[in-house]
Amino acid sequence: MDPTLAARTALVAACARLAARGLIVATEGNASVRLAGTDILVTPAGRRKDTLGPADLVVVGLVPDPARDAAVRPRPTSDLAVHRAIYRACPDVRAVVHAHPPAALALTLAGEAPDPSLLPETAALLGALPVVPFAPPGSDELAERIATTLAGASSEQPARAVLLERHGVVALGASVEDALDRLELADLLCRVWRDARLLGWRSDRG
Ligand SMILES: [Zn+2]
């Protein structure tokens, strides 16, 4: 039996959940799972994520290898550098999920940084949610900025999700379900924050 089958099945289910929650449209979003050894399983580039089957996912190495990378088919997500950088920076992380929740894009476009500590659920379950300054999607610069932000978070409240300026959310977890839970909580916080602002609320903390 394929030793990666359980990871493939979990990743396909995660993609379906992202779409069902309205967190991705068209070919947006990507996700990955850490495999045994130094490989990761990632979603392919240019595909609707809610139409993927287990065989559509791609095994790549954690460390870039030009010869191996050039031969990989189908082509992996264009955000591969982000996934690789996170796994290298955070040895405890087993899964990474990325999506473009509209409220998250709107808030960072408006210069807002929603504070998870203001809602009991996000304070308890989401932890810190730092904002990563804009860098082009798919770039090594974006990957480095995310890894630096995660590594620089306080050890008392480690960041396991980040907001990307004008781009979306990246969430990490001990499993793909754990990462998805965190991404949904980040989306919830952003929607509540946006709605509260529209109702006239002004925080002195963000
Ligand atoms: Zn993206």
Ligand 1 centroid to 128 CA: how many Å? 20
Q: Under CATH, what is the fold of the domain 5-198?
A: L-fuculose-1-phosphate Aldolase (3.40.225)
Query: Considering only 93-97, 155-159, 184-188, 197-201, which range has the smallest mean pLDDT?
Result: 155-159
Ligand 1 centroid to 138 CA: how many Å? 8
**Structure confidence at residue 155 (pLDDT):** 66
Mean pLDDT computed over every residue of the chain? 94
Q: What is the pTM of this model?
A: 0.95
Ligand 1 centroid to 30 CA: how many Å? 8
Give CA 11 to chain center in angstroms.
13
Residues 86-114 pLDDT 10s: 999 999 999 999 999 999 999 999 999 99
Domain boundaries defined on the chain = 5-198
The secondary structure element, H or E, covering residue 187 is helix 176-198
Ligand 1 centroid to 188 CA: how many Å? 18
Closest C-alpha to 115, from 10, 193, 24, 195: 193
Find out whether the peptide bond into 74 is cis, omega within 30 degrees of 0: yes
Does residue 62 surpass a pLDDT of 70?
A: yes
Ligand 1 centroid to 167 CA: how many Å? 6
